[in-house]
Chains A and B, each alone.
Chain A
Amino acid sequence: MKKADRVHIVTLGGTGHEPALEGFVGEGMFDIAVPGDIFAAPGPAPVFEALKLAAAPKGALLIVLNHAGDMMTAEMTMEMVADAGLKVARVNTQEDVSNAPRSDSGNRRGLVGCVPLAKIAGGAAASGKNLEEVRAVAQKFADNMATIAVAARGATHPANGAEISKFGDDDMEIGMGQHGEGGGGRMKMKSAQETAVIMADALVKDLSLKAGEKIMLIVNGSGSTTLMEQLIVFKDCWNFLKGKGIEVVAQMVGEVLTVQETAGFQLFMARMDDELLEYWKAPCSTPYYTVQ
């Protein structure tokens, strides 16, 4: 890791979701991503080592996706961090609207939102903000993001071949977890446009978005949804939002956080303001995302 005189951004998480998380390690996003096994968090020991590297001199922000293993590893690591007197702050991502209401966000899973969060936190860190300021910006974004997922075919576990989630040929499910654990409602297959509108509407309601507000919109392919299909969904969401007077000021379409060969996508929205937009647009250079 190239050490810089600024706050460093660290995350942890299971693999099998490429390019996330490791593909976004570089200038302006994650400084370190500690990988676990496939779909499984790393143990606390390597995360502690990463934070020892990252915490000096200006402190480190640890971004943790809300999944049982990731959270437990983070809890244990933070205990080790406190014993060692390291300067570390933490932000959890918990944005899946399908498995708990906003009032119970501790039970919401972290999905693709960790990636734009890293971009914004990285931008804030690069601007010279101190640890508390970087944490506050990251928390503001985290509090204003929402994701919903859909899948029509689950993944198989790459290591043991186990089939995670079984679907009928004509079934789909809105509200899949990160790993294909079921979560929301099963239904008969709908058109891309109908699906996009159901999902976009759920996010608009969850975030209480009003006409005149500015948002980030991401369509994240889960593994075997084509880019053309993702762009169709993006267009349908854009039109839906336009009809409501909501302006898309930041966007991404593509495979950001995948789940092996899952057929489906995650739809992400976040409320934006001028500060968040400035850090989103700040330069970055990582293998899978670059802003010049």
Chain B
Amino acid sequence: MKTVDYAAFAGMLKAAAAKIEDSKGKLTELDSQIGDGDHGTTMAKVMELVKETVDGYEGRDVKGLLSKIGMSILTVGGGATVPLYGSLFSGMARAAAEGPGAFDAPALAVMFESGRDRLLKFSKAAPGDKTLVDALVPAVEAMAATAAGGADAMFEAAAEAAQKGSDRTRNQVARHGRAMNLGERSLGIPDPGSVSMALIFRAFADYVKEA
């Protein structure tokens, strides 16, 4: 798939929600080693809301859908995950063109850059702090770098970059979020937020490849 239309975009989001639901137990187990043990349930709740919003959305435009997802996430309780994903989706919505048209890869890359920027505004975490930023930032950079090759190649590059970024968090000492309080003891465990972010990009890539 070289471009992504509304149906495909909705399909990507639902594929990501399904992947997170399947990984709920693993994420929770990881988070109980390094955080307070709720990352799996929180991510599953947020992504279930994404899926429900997609199912209930009557428009056929990506901008409106993303904006609605961003707003609905902000209504639930989920700690840092809620403002982070709320700002990611609402930031993407800001850069999405109006109307029912399909998006080519460069337009998608711009959309994700806008989401990343809004998320970074609130997270205040920098790459290397052992947070989801360590998966998101390289993924979005990979998108910009590979957009010329079409959506399928671009999302594959993003998924690989997100996974590599998440893997690198194993060797990082947390400098942000709750795991920060563990200091050196956070070494050896990947950041759960980066793991779930990498899973989402993997789901996007697999969906776009198969669709």
Chain A CB within 8 A of B20 CB: no
Q: Within the complex, what minimum Cβ distance (angstroms) separates A162 from chain B? A: 3
Tell me, in angstroms, the Cα distance from A30 to B74 when the chains sit together.
23
| Listed stretches A36-44, A140-148, A198-206; interface member | A36-44
Q: Within the complex, what minimum Cβ distance (angstroms) separates B154 from chain A? A: 29
Per DSSP, are chain B's interface residues mostly helix, strand or loop, or mixed?
helix
Q: Which of B42-70 contact A (CB under 8 A)?
A: 42, 45
Find the residue from B31, B177, B181 having the highest chain A CB count within 10 A: B181
Chain A CB within 8 A of B73 CB: yes
Q: Interface readout for B30-48 with A: 1 if CB under 8 Å, 0 if not?
A: 0110011110111001000
Q: Within the complex, what minimum Cβ distance (angstroms) separates B196 from chain A? A: 15
- In contact, A69 and B36 (Cβ under 8 angstroms): no
**What are the residues of chain B within 8 A of A46 when measuring CB–CB?**
75
Chain A CB within 8 A of B151 CB: no
Chain A CB within 8 A of B169 CB: no
- In contact, A159 and B41 (Cβ under 8 angstroms): yes
- In contact, A37 and B42 (Cβ under 8 angstroms): yes
Q: Within the complex, what minimum Cβ distance (angstroms) separates B23 from chain A? A: 14
- Please tell me which one of the listed residues B29, B35, B77 contacts residue A42 in the complex, with CB atoms under 8 A apart: B77
Tell me, in angstroms, the Cα distance from A39 to B40 when the chains sit together.
13
Chain A CB within 8 A of B3 CB: no
For the A-B complex, the count of residue pairs with Cβ-Cβ distances under 8 Å equals 121
- Please tell me which one of the listed residues A39, A76, A107, A181 contacts residue B79 in the complex, with CB atoms under 8 A apart: A39
- In contact, A69 and B180 (Cβ under 8 angstroms): no
Q: Within the complex, what minimum Cβ distance (angstroms) separates B159 from chain A? A: 26
Q: Within the complex, what minimum Cβ distance (angstroms) separates B176 from chain A? A: 7
Closest to B75 in A: A45
Whether A179 contacts B40 in the complex (CB less than 8 A), given A36-B79, A37-B79, A162-B32, comes out as: no
Whether A40 contacts B37 in the complex (CB less than 8 A), given A68-B178, A162-B28, comes out as: no
Whether A164 contacts B37 in the complex (CB less than 8 A), given A37-B42, A72-B123, A75-B122, comes out as: yes
Contacts A/B (CB < 8 Å), 16 sampled: A36-B77, A37-B38, A37-B78, A38-B38, A41-B80, A43-B75, A43-B83, A43-B86, A69-B78, A69-B80, A69-B81, A69-B83, A70-B79, A72-B80, A160-B38, A182-B182
